[in-house]
Amino acid sequence: MGNGRTLGVGLIGLGVVGTGVVQLIQKNREDFKKFRGVDLDLRRVAVRDPGKPREVDLPTGAFTTAEALVEDPDVDIVVEVMGGVDAATDLCCRALKSGKDLVTANKAMMAERGDEVFSAAAAGGASVGFEASVCGGIPILQALRDGLVANQVESLYGILNGTTNYILTRMTDEGGSFDEMLQEAQDAGYAEADPAMDIDGTDAAQKLSLLCRIAFRRRLDPEHISKEGIEGISPVDIDFARELGYTIKLLGIARPLGDSIEARVHPALVPLDSQLANIKHEFNAVEVVGSAAGPQVFTGRGAGRLPTASAIVADLVDVAQRRLAGRGESADLARLPEAAPASPDSVKISAYCRFTVFDTPGVLAQIACIFADHNIGIAKVIQHGRSESEGDTVTLIMTTHEARESDMKRAVHVIGQLPVVQHEPKVIRIEEL
């Protein structure tokens, strides 16, 4: 290979991910020239505050504004790692329409405004790489798009958010407090600028929507993904889950059901001996069931500087090679049919239920009756001692057999109204995997 054709790179954002991108370009530039035939020349960098100290050395005069960067004729490929939706979409679409390629880690933008981004790319004959927006360093989009091209994807599920997996792991293994573990995840650079996006399942739902786009070739608005976060998971649930032989993980699950897609993000009890139970800290994992290849598990670091930058730089090399070969984005990804969300009546779940009840005779029978009235069978019951929890109440744990999700919701609502039941019941799905 020769010295590689030189392409100008413009970077918008020099925070956790942007800094890693600079480090990896600088470290690998010579190898890319020699072995990939591309010379990635970082020419412009846009930040909010150019006066802030930075961890990397940049070419003199590199700093500019994002608006100037997307208009700059010396920039061939824009890397967007500033985050946010509206301003980022506007900048990225302007760059793409003028023929610049785009590499981004911004799942919020790609999940919510992806159609506009792909249309702008098709209009400008440019390419979009967004591998880093789903599961950090794991090349899952490439695997779905290329490696599994001969398969219909029958289902996919996994751990799609590093911050919540970090918090749950540390709470489970070391008894850490939720707030302290969240602070650690933020300090490590895993969390979103607004960590509520991680905690309430929004980030995982955005990633699941992008996975559905590539795996099922359908658009599924993240708003149509049923979503629950880890806010309500208490150490009590973690302890009872362990006693039952499970651990708690935040999962994203999607499978086609006829013309619709069942897609949901929620905490779930998973068996202690399952592969997902052993995915710890900021690691993510996705199991994909392909019609020809069968089940495959992809795992690796889902958040953090270098893992995310690794996916960005892989996309950079890929779009650079596409540019040199004269291949841009087709409009296919913008024109995918919309998938309807699956109706709750078609979704079946089994569940762990925690009730705080007055310690009086007949409580168990009342609850069991309501479950039976809704066609829900009880699998296991745990109650330790008498009146241990608070005042004259006890904690009652029940797990159920599989039942319609809609029946489960109605039954738990009715149980929650019983005079013997204190507090809102806590329900967590069980996924046997």
Q: Which does 140 bind (CB under 5 to 8 A by kind): ligand NAP, ligand HSE, none?
A: none
Q: Which does 189 bind (CB under 5 to 8 A by kind): ligand NAP, ligand HSE, none?
A: ligand NAP
Residue partners of 18: CB distance under 8 A and separation at least 6: 11, 12, 45, 79, 81, 82
The single-letter DSSP state of residue 343 is P
Q: Which is nearer to ligand NAP, 201 or 256 (CB)?
A: 201
Which of 72, 198, 200, 287 is in the footprint of ligand HSE by CB under 6 A? 198
Judged by CB under 6 A, the chain residues 122 through 161 that form the site for ligand NAP are 132-133, 136
Strands 260-271, 348-358: parallel, antiparallel or unpaired by DSSP?
Answer: unpaired
Q: What is the closest distance, in whole angstroms, from the C-beta atom of residue 107 to ligand HSE in the complex?
A: 6
Is 207 considered catalytic here?
A: yes
Does position 190 interact with ligand HSE (CB under 6 A)? The reply is: yes
Does position 192 interact with ligand HSE (CB under 6 A)? The reply is: yes
- Could you give the CA distance from residue 6 to residue 120 in angstroms, rounded to a whole number? 24
Is residue 284 within 8 Å of residue 299, measured between CB atoms?
A: yes
Is residue 399 within 8 Å of residue 244, measured between CB atoms?
A: yes
Q: Which does 163 bind (CB under 5 to 8 A by kind): ligand HSE, ligand NAP, none?
A: ligand HSE
Is residue 47 within 8 Å of residue 63, measured between CB atoms?
A: yes
Does position 216 interact with ligand HSE (CB under 6 A)? The reply is: no
Which of 8, 162, 222, 256 is in the footprint of ligand HSE by CB under 6 A? 162
Does position 209 interact with ligand NAP (CB under 6 A)? The reply is: no
Residue 135, classed as helix, strand or coil, is coil
Judged by CB under 6 A, the chain residues 44 through 73 that form the site for ligand NAP are 46-49, 52, 66
Q: Which is nearer to ligand NAP, 162 or 328 (CB)?
A: 162
Q: What is the closest distance, in whole angstroms, from the C-beta atom of residue 285 to ligand NAP in the complex?
A: 16
Structure tokens at 53: 């100290």
Q: How many residues bind to ligand NAP according to rule CB under 6 A? A: 30
Task: Return the closest-CA partner of residue 45 out of 76, 28, 22.
Answer: 22
CA end-to-end span of the chain:
47
Does position 211 interact with ligand NAP (CB under 6 A)? The reply is: no
Which of 163, 310, 400, 422 is in the footprint of ligand HSE by CB under 6 A? 163
Is residue 189 within 8 Å of residue 302, measured between CB atoms?
A: no
- Could you give the CA distance from residue 329 to residue 319 in angstroms, rounded to a whole number? 10
Active-site residue set: 207
